[in-house]
Structure 1
Amino acid sequence: MKVGEFEAPAAPHGAAGGLIDGIGRRFEYLRLSVTDVCNFRCTYCLPDGYKKPCNRPSELSVDEVRRVVTAFAKLGLWKVRLTGGEPTLRRDFEEIARTVAQVPGIRRVAMTTNGYRLAERTVQWRAAGISAINISVDSLDPARFAEITGHDRLKQVFSGIDAAQGAGFDSIKLNAVLMRGVNDTELEAMIDFVSSRDLSLRFIEVMRTNDNAEFFAKRHVAGQSVIDRLQVLGWSRLPRQPGAGPAVEFGHQQAKGRIGIIAPYSKDFCATCNRLRMSSLGKLHLCLFGDAGIDLRPLLQSDDAQAELVERVRKLTSTKAPAHRLHQGNSGATPHLASIGG
């Protein structure tokens, strides 16, 4: 079995056919934000850095995380991705990862990181039960990387990638937000980079949020243009893997790695949606670009509320909208991507 490929487990006993919305989409993947704090200042997300809100509630505790993941596992979800902000800023991040990995029914624990602690902690993260890791690498050029992220840490991130490859993760993916006039000239260099390495690289379209309309208009690169270039270079579309995220993946006979495209502005992007989101404050988001999150935190205070929590999630999921409204210029209530983990 190749890196990143795996067989999906059967739905656990008690999942009652799994979690399905009103148009028949089945959900098996939970994106769980453990913090909205980030130490980077990426131009497409937090260009002015993180600003702590006044009277900000506390983030979910480890016990609250266990309860919410247990509820989703009872509904048939078997994959959890720990996100942020930068999730590893939580001092108890490894305890969270270990707790999630031990929940009955959870088969895969993934994480997304900016990589600043990757070289230092990757062995511990793997030992805590994380089996898949996504790392943000928006440029292969150190100066440009620093310009995009606000930190001159590309060499440090590359050291972390090497460490992760030695730590035995099932899947290692690099995320790059492609931006017109910023890093789009690196497209072919990035393709060459992943061709010689056993990694997956995903190009992500800039997404409009409530605070970046001008940036979006100036920097957006359509995902289809990347797909067109890949096909010219001989890359072909690969079958969708069980539990996969939103990327459409491509492979090449002479390449060691794979390339994915996350293009939320493409036709029928939402048709294969299989994921739900929980914020670090305990709100369920049925869509990244939905109108608002639904507060489930009152049901996370005791194990005795599990049955009520499960039923609440089931009913809310049935109301999930068929698609986002990005094409109408409506990004819902999402202020920026760090707020609920992208």
Structure 2
Amino acid sequence: MAEAGLMELDAARAPSPAPPSLVDGFGRRFRYLRLSVTEVCNFRCAYCLPDGYRGKADGFLELDEIARLVRGFAALGVTKVRLSGGEPSVRADLDDIIAAAAATPGVMKVALTTNGWRLDRRVRGWRDAGLSHLNVSIDSLDPAAFARLTGHDRLEDILRGVDTALGLGFGAVKLNAVLLRDTVDSAFDQFADWLRHRPATVRFIELMRTLDNGPWFDAQHVRAEVLERWLRERGWTARPRRADDGPAIEYAHPDYAGRFGVIAPYGAGFCDGCNRLRVTARGKLRLCLFGEGGVDLRDLLTDSVAPERLEQRILDALPTKQRGHELMLGRSGDLRRMADVGG
């Protein structure tokens, strides 16, 4: 009896088995979820939705489904959630979505990517709801070029919202700009001037081919090396990446409060450090932005389904993740528009 009691005591003291984690067949660990909350966007960006959004404006994940989804990924080790679209702020319940993600045990960072059209009016509410990191898409600081690229003459309002956000104590405020041939001659100098006294990061993203933007890509694509060379020649130096960072390599300069970032999907080894998974606004797990199909998770996002089933389906999908995309071969998977999967 005494021996049995000692065995029970030892068992009680033994550490609980570690929960399963998201690791693929190439040893990459996934701590970062990009979750689209809508496909709808009210901008008409030339490289994504030049004719505006024309799809169905309903059927997206509901708030309770989003909460269950985030809990499932957090149980598997995800610590950072980025809400994207489309344009997330077209959803009236965005504050509640942010709050649900921020309240999830294990989630340490909740980020948002927005075109900024409601930024100055809503950013304080997002911060109060638990938003910790903010990205705003601004492809040019020239008002005419911005209006031409987006279909909206809203640059001044959006920049005012960015300045408001910089005063709210976010972990990071970043601007996303697509690297384009039309704007490359002036964009770097303009953004550098803007960054001199602002503790933000401007990230230039190499234009990526999709099934719908072939002619635009051919006319506008500029390799990221152009910016990398510009930065090195002016004394900017690369910073080390953290485990839950996105794909950007950031550059700092002692004379500037802000930083530049470079996202180079056509560069060698770009996918080697992949740490993020994507779920579409309709509940499909995308293992790669430029993959095909997806794994439907929505049927498991109800009260009647044990959360372990959701977690297991996610784990079962990981072995099918490929080592990298095939953009260099001109293959975009089945991706028609970035707004379809949240970019």
TM-score normalised per structure 1: 0.93
Letter in 2 for 1:25: R
**Offset of 1:317 from its aligned partner?**
1.5
Amino acid at match of 1:50: Y
Q: Greater CA deviation, 79-88 or 313-322? A: 313-322
Task: Tell whether the 8 Å contact from 2:33 to 2:82 is kept in structure 1 after alignment.
Answer: yes
* Aligned twin of 2:4: none
Cα shift at 1:296 = 1.0
Name the % identity.
Answer: 49
Give the corresponding residue for 2:182.
Answer: 181
Change (3 A) 1:17 1:189: same
- The answer to whether 1:28 aligns with 2:34 is no
Instruction: Tell me the distance in 1 between the aligned counterparts of 2:20 and 2:30.
Output: 11
Unaligned runs of 5+ in 2: 1-15
CA contact (8 A) 2:140 2:183 kept: no
User: 1:303, CA displacement in angstroms?
Assistant: 5.6
Question: How far 1:156 sits from its partner (Å)?
Answer: 0.4
Q: Which amino acid aligns with 2:22?
A: L
Q: How does 1:154-193 map to 2 (within 5 A)?
A: 154-193=155-194
The 1-side partners of 2:58 and 2:42 are apart by 19
Q: Give, in whole Å, the separation in 2 of the partners of 1:255 and 1:70.
A: 39
> What is the CA distance between 1:39 and its match in structure 2?
0.2
In the alignment, does 2:123 pair up with 1:134? no
Q: Equivalent residue for 1:254? A: 255
Conserved? CA contact 2:78–2:107, under 8 Å:
yes
Conservation of the 8 A alpha-carbon contact between 1:178 and 1:184: no
* Superposed CA offset, 1:292-316 (max 9, x none): 1211111112263311110110111
Listed as ranges, the matches of 1:1-342 within 5 Å are 16=19, 18-53=21-56, 58-302=59-303, 304-342=305-343
Partner of 1:124: helix, strand, or coil?
helix
> Does the aligned pair in 2 maintain the 1:15–1:75 contact within 8 Å?
no
Q: Do the aligned partners of residues 15 and 82 (structure 1) sit closer, same or farther apart at CA in structure 2, a change above 3 Å counting?
A: farther
Q: For 1:33 and 1:225, how far apart are their aligned partners in 2? A: 31
State the 1:169 CA deviation. 1.1
Alpha-carbon distance in 2 for matches of 1:328, 1:212 = 16
Amino acid aligned to 2:35: L
How far apart are the structure 2 equivalents of 1:285 and 1:229? Answer: 34
Deviates more, 1:107-116 or 1:166-175: 166-175
Deviation larger for 136-145 or 75-84: 136-145
Aligned CA distance change for structure 1 residues 321 and 166 (closer, same or farther; 3 Å): same
Cα distance change, pair 184–301 in 1 and its aligned pair in 2 (3 A): farther
Q: CA deviation at 1:262?
A: 0.6
The residue matched to 2:68 in structure 1 has which SS? helix
Q: Displacement of 1:241 after TM fit? A: 2.0
Q: Is the 8 A contact 1:20 1:26 kept in 2?
A: yes
Partners of 1:14 and 1:74 within 8 A in 2: no
Contact 1:88–1:113 at 8 Å: present in 2 too? yes
CA contact (8 A) 1:299 1:308 kept: yes
**1:64 to partner: Cα distance:** 0.5
One-letter identity of the residue aligned with 1:135: V
- Following TM superposition, by how much is the alpha carbon of 1:15 offset from its aligned partner in structure 2, in angstroms? 5.8
Post-superposition offset of 1:184: 4.1
What is the alpha-carbon distance in structure 1 between the residues aligned to residue 20 and residue 255 of structure 2?
A: 41
Task: Give the distance between the partners of 1:102 and 1:318, measured in 2 at CA.
Answer: 30
Residue 143 of structure 1 and its aligned partner are, at CA, apart by 1.0
From the CA coordinates, give the structure whose radius of gyration is larger: 2
User: Is the Cα contact below 8 Å between 1:101 and 1:108 reproduced in 2?
Assistant: yes
- In 2, the alpha carbon distance for the partners of 1:235 and 1:141 equals 23
CA distance in 2, matches of 1:14, 1:70: 19
Let me know the Cα RMSD of the aligned residues. 1.4
1:298-341 alpha-carbon deviations (Å, 9 max, x no partner): 11122633111101101111221000010111100111011111
User: How far 1:170 moved relative to its partner?
Assistant: 1.4
Q: TM-score, normalised by structure 2?
A: 0.93
